[in-house]
Amino acid sequence: MQDFDVIVIGMGPGGEYLAEALAGKGLSVLGLDHWLVGGECPYYGCVPSKMMLRAAGPLAEAALIPDLSGRVSEITPDWSILASRIRDEATDDWNDRAAVDRFEKLGGTFIRGTGRLTSDTSVSVSPNDGSAEQEFRARRAIVVATGSSAVVPPIPGLADVDYWTNRGAVQATEAPQSMVVLGGGAIGCEMSQAFARFGTEVTLVEGTDRLLPPEEPEASAILESVFTDAGINVITGTRAQRVSQSDGVIHVELSDGRTVSGQRLLVATGRRTDPAAAGLASVGVPEDARVAPINERCEVVPGVYAIGDITGKGAFTHIAMYQGGIVTKEILGEETYTADYTAEPHVTFTDPEVGSVGLTEAAARAQYSNVAVGTAAIPDTSRGWIQKYDNAGLLKLVADMDRGVLVGGTAMGPAGGEMLSYLVLAVHAQVPIATLQSMIYAYPTFHRGYETALQDLVDG
Ligand SMILES: Cc1cc2nc3c(=O)[nH]c(=O)nc-3n(C[C@H](O)[C@H](O)[C@H](O)COP(=O)(O)OP(=O)(O)OC[C@H]3O[C@@H](n4cnc5c(N)ncnc54)[C@H](O)[C@@H]3O)c2cc1C
C-alpha cells in the first residue's frame, strides 16, 4: 500500500485549491478525480454561466439605445460566439490538462479515478482506465471534496426525453427557439435570463410561490416583474407532473392542469450531495446522511476533513475555498481561524443582481426578539433615477437592535453583487449601526442608498 501525506478525493474548487497549496508546501499529495480537475465551477457552473450572462447583457443594453443614445440598425444575437468563448477560453473544450499539469508540477500525484474512504487513514481508488483497484494510506489527512451534482427529480416521463441540466445548457451550440426551465433558484433564473436575451422563448416553472426562495420576498417579487416585463413566462406555485416529447417538442404537464412546451427542457431543481458514495460510512457517518457532518475546523473525525458542497454549508465556490484554506492551515499546523458562516455571502448574477448575506428578515425574527429592517428602493436613489431604465432593485438591511448591528442584508440592483461587499463587512465585523451612519457615501452611487436604508431602519 503506497503512502502519501494527504489524499484528496475530488479536485473541484475546494479540493484543487487545497491540494495545490499543500503540494506547493512540499507535502506528498495524492489528488483523485473521476472527471475534470477544477470541478463544476469552471467547466459547467460559475464561469460558463457568468459568460452566458456577460454575453446576454449587451443585447439588453443595446435595446436601450433608441431611448437613451440614438439609432441602432439591427442586432442579431449569435450564440455561436458565446459557445466558442465557453469552449475555448473557459473550458479548453472541457479538457483539464492545464490543471493536472499545474498540480503535477507542484509535486502532486494525480489519478483519474473514483476514490472511496475505507478507514480514517485509507482510500481505495478505482482508476477510470479500468485497471485494478488500488489502496492508499494517508499519513496526515484525508480530505473529502466530492461536491454535488444536479438533482433530477423523479418526474414520470423525464428519463425518456432529451433534457438538459446545467451541463447540457453550458455546452449549447445555439439558443433554442423555446425552452422550459424547471426550477426558479439561482441557476434556473440565471439561465432563463441568458437564453431569453438571446431570443429563446422561456417558460420558467418554480414549485414554491416565488423565484429565488431563499432570498427576501421583495427581491423575488422584483425579479419576477423584471422577467415578466422581458417576456419570460414565469409560473410559480406549481410543479411538473409529467413530461413527454413529440415532434421535437417537450411537453411538461403542471400540477395546476396547464401544459407548457419547449424545444428544450432545462432541469435546474437543485443539487444533491452523496457522502455515502465517498465512503464516509467507514468513519461512522450514517449511510443516509445528506451531507458530511463537520466541526468548525471542517473535521469529520480526527484526520478526515470535508470541504465544499458536500458539507452543506453553502454550495458556493467561495465556501469550498474558504474551507479549503482552513484545512490547509490545519494540516500544515499553521495558526488558523475556525469556520464562521455568519456573514456568508451569495450572489445571483441576473440583471438585476441579487446579493445577500447573513439572515433574511424572517430568519432574524425567528432568532432575535428585537429586529428592525430598513429599505431603500434603487429607482428612488439619485443614481437609480439617472439610470432610468434597468434600474430595478432594493437595499434591505436586517438588524438586531439589542446589539445595534446588522445581521443580514440584501443588495439588489445593477452591480448588486459588488454592492454586497459593504453588507458582508458590516455583518462580519459587527460594525455598529451608528458607525455605518457616520460614514460618507459617494454621490451619486447606488451605494448611497445604504444611507437611506439605515435611516429607515433607525426610524422604525
Ligand atoms: C450552473 C452553476 C452556476 C454556479 N454559479 C456559481 C457562482 O456564480 N458562484 C459560486 O460561488 N458558486 C456557483 N456555483 C456553485 C459552485 O460551482 C460549487 O459550489 C463548487 O463547484 C463546489 O466546489 P466543490 O469543490 O465542493 O465541488 P465540485 O465543483 O462539485 O467538484 C467535486 C469534484 O469531485 C469529483 N468527484 C466526486 N466524487 C468523486 C469520487 N468519489 N472520486 C473522485 N472524484 C470525485 C467530481 O468529478 C468533481 O470534479 C454554480 C454551480 C452551478 C451548477
CATH number at residue 413: 3.30.390.30
Q: Are residues 190 and 315 in the same domain?
A: no
Q: Are residues 213 and 103 in the same domain?
A: no
Q: Average pLDDT, stretch 161-177?
A: 98
Q: With contact defined as beta carbons under 8 Å apart, do 264 and 176 qualify? A: yes
Domain, as residue range, for 258 = 158-269
- pLDDT at 460 exceeding the cut of 90: no
Strands 178-182 and 264-267: parallel
Q: Single out the residue in 230, 247, 269 at which a domain terminates.
A: 269
Q: Are residues 325 and 351 in the same domain?
A: no
Record the pTM: 0.97
Name the pLDDT band for 179 (thresholds 50, 70, 90). very high
Q: Average pLDDT, stretch 8-12?
A: 98
Q: 260, 253, 285, 289: which is closest to 274 by C-alpha?
A: 289
pLDDT of residue 73: 85
Query: Average pLDDT, whole number, for the chain?
Result: 97
Q: Average pLDDT, stretch 147-152?
A: 98
Please give the distance, rounded to the nearest whole angstrom, from the Cα atom of residue 46 to the centre of ligand 1: 9
- pLDDT at 20 exceeding the cut of 90: yes
Q: Are residues 7 and 138 in the same domain?
A: yes
The CA distance from 343 to 409, in Å, is 10
Q: 221, 217, 232, 193: which is closest to 349 by C-alpha?
A: 193
Please give the distance, rounded to the nearest whole angstrom, from the Cα atom of residue 311 to the centre of ligand 1: 12
- pLDDT at 404 exceeding the cut of 90: yes
Q: With contact defined as beta carbons under 8 Å apart, do 410 and 216 qualify? A: yes
SS (H, E, C) 86-135: HHHHHCCCCCCHHHHHHHHHCCCEEEEEEEEECCCCEEEEEECCCCCCEE
**How many Cα atoms within 13 Å fall on the side-chain side of residue 270?**
11
Q: Are residues 207 and 304 in the same domain?
A: no
Report CA-CA distances (Å) from 33 to 8, 130, 291, 332: 9, 14, 19, 23
Q: For a substitution probing ligand 1, which of 17, 30, 40, 348 has the most ligand atoms within 8 Å of its CB?
A: 40
Q: Single out the residue in 241, 269, 297 at which a domain terminates.
A: 269
Report CA-CA distances (Å) from 410 to 98, 314, 369, 405, 455: 38, 17, 21, 15, 16
pLDDT of residue 397: 98
User: Which atom of ligand 1 is found nearest the CA of 191?
Assistant: 1
Q: With contact defined as beta carbons under 8 Å apart, do 198 and 172 qualify? A: no
- pLDDT at 287 exceeding the cut of 90: yes
DSSP sequence for 297-357:
T-EEETTEEE-GGGGTS-SSHHHHHHHHHHHHHHHHT--------TT-EEEE-SSSEEEEE
Q: Are residues 198 and 279 in the same domain?
A: no
Ligand 1 pocket, CB under 6 A? 9-15, 32-36, 39-41, 44-46, 49-50, 114-115, 145-148, 166, 187, 277-278, 308-309, 315-318, 320, 349
Q: Are residues 259 and 300 in the same domain?
A: no
Q: How many domains does the chain have?
A: 3
Residue carrying the nine cell digits 474551507: 323
388 inside domain = yes
The CA distance from 122 to 119, in Å, is 5
Q: Are residues 142 and 9 in the same domain?
A: yes
- pLDDT at 72 exceeding the cut of 90: no
Please give the distance, rounded to the nearest whole angstrom, from the Cα atom of residue 261 to the centre of ligand 1: 30
pLDDT of residue 309: 98
Q: Average pLDDT, stretch 221-233?
A: 98
The CA distance from 357 to 342, in Å, is 8
Please give the distance, rounded to the nearest whole angstrom, from the Cα atom of residue 308 to the centre of ligand 1: 8
Q: Single out the residue in 269, 300, 319 at which a domain terminates.
A: 269
Report CA-CA distances (Å) from 384 to 375, 412, 447, 457: 14, 12, 10, 20
Q: Are residues 135 and 281 in the same domain?
A: yes
Q: Are residues 278 and 215 in the same domain?
A: no
Residue carrying the nine cell digits 454561466: 49
Q: Are residues 321 and 355 in the same domain?
A: no
DSSP bridge partners of 412: 354, 394
Phi, psi of 215 (to 5 degrees): -90, 175
Please give the distance, rounded to the nearest whole angstrom, from the Cα atom of residue 160 to the centre of ligand 1: 26
User: Which atom of ligand 1 is found nearest the CA of 33?
Assistant: 44
Q: With contact defined as beta carbons under 8 Å apart, do 411 and 422 qualify? A: yes
Please give the distance, rounded to the nearest whole angstrom, from the Cα atom of residue 33 to the centre of ligand 1: 12
